[in-house]
Amino acid sequence: MTTTPTRHRFIDIHILQTVPPANLNRDDAGAPKEATYGGVRRPRASSQAWKRATRIAFASLGIPEDKLGTRTKQLADHLAQRIAARTGLDIEPAARLAAAVIAPLGIKTSTKKDDETAYLLFYGNEQIENLVNLVAGQADDLAAADDKKLAEAFDSTDIRKALMTGHPLDVALFGRMVAKIPDINVDAACQVAHAIATHGAELEWDYYTAVDDRHGRDNKGAGMIGRIGFNSATFYRYASVALHQLDTNLSDPDAAIAAVSSFVSAFTRSMPTGYGNSFGHRTMPQLLAISVRDDQPINLVTAFEKPVTAYGATGYAAPSATALAAEQTTITRQWGAPALWTGATHAFTDTTAKALDDAFGQALTFPDLLDNLTAELTR
């Protein structure tokens, strides 16, 4: 068993990843999102998009669904379905019990849809079972009770306890914020930055046509035409996990360390799926570097405030990696703020590899990097 990590530990994750023509994360006009940084317009993917992709990736790591969370406006329906499944009640009386269970929290219904809450709620799939436990042993009696007795059957303290016990991995990482019900808020243990290109790039448009297969040969028109915005870029992606907050949320230091490894794996391998079938844009990162710190999280995006210039025909990845290594070295020396531990995986060679080795240590395989990180956090 590990000791409780009462010391502050921030795990900073730095990724460089080149994406081909794609529309990872579109804006309200359908074009890929952008941002101005260093006076230059660049491709961007929002933190929300990559957090969603990371949550989806947890399942591919073999984490069971009941150990993860659900974010929905349909809490009442979800609870009703689980009450019906557990107790054998029909869905209508189960829905009545579900409404009575969550009523003491003061969760407001949507002004547009009576069967939805006014805001998204993020909770664990095991936590919904905790709420079912409040009903399961007395379901028939509760279903037969009048509205007054049913309302008196549930105490807000029990409901809050059910939602604040046994947080799943994703709720513990990303937190839960309900402004109207602060008693069930969970402080996030993870920060995720917007992914941003290390260089400027132009927004382009794909004008496409689709042929109607049943039109005759003499028909020269298209069955459908349209436009999709796209760009391509080398993205800098950054996230940081506060191990001490994760330990608080999970109430288990061993589970917190395992959760860090799961997050690094899922975040590294994830990708927003916008227009995925149209562009087939999934790639693997060219660089993953990790720093463990005890002072504060440090985003190295300042390495790219001056846009990277491609080395002739060799692309943006290598000069971006060199710039990232230089920024890590500068922060260590200038501010006297070395990391407690660093590690990296990449396949760069020559001067780029040397710069990365000096900044983050000799390159490892991804599995070895995760093993070494776990060993450092357990130490």
Supply the pLDDT for residue 217: 67
Task: Enter the pTM of the model.
Answer: 0.91
Given a cut of 70, whether residue 166 has pLDDT beyond it is yes
Average pLDDT over residues 114-126: 85
Give the DSSP letter string of 360-375.
H-S---HHHHHHHHHH
**What one-letter code names the amino acid at 121?**
L
pLDDT level of residue 5 (50, 70, 90 thresholds): very low
Given a cut of 90, whether residue 179 has pLDDT beyond it is no
Supply the pLDDT for residue 105: 85
Look up residue 72 and give its DSSP letter. Answer: E
Average pLDDT over residues 338-361: 96
Which residue shows structure tokens 């929300």?
48
- Give 313's Cβ-side CA count (13 Å radius): 0
Determine the Cα–Cα distance for residues 58 and 80; give it in Å rounded to an integer: 26
Supply the pLDDT for residue 223: 67
**What one-letter code names the amino acid at 288?**
L
Closest CA to 232 of 48, 36, 47, 45: 45
pLDDT level of residue 220 (50, 70, 90 thresholds): low
Quickly count: other Cβ atoms within 10 Å of residue 32's Cβ. 25
CB-based burial of residue 217 (10 Å sphere; 0-12 exposed, 13-18 middle, 19+ buried)? exposed
What is the average pLDDT score of the chain?
A: 91
Given a cut of 80, whether residue 7 has pLDDT beyond it is no
* Count, residues in the chain: 379
Average pLDDT over residues 186-196: 97
Determine the Cα–Cα distance for residues 92 and 80; give it in Å rounded to an integer: 8
pLDDT in tens, 76-99: 999 999 999 999 999 999 999 999
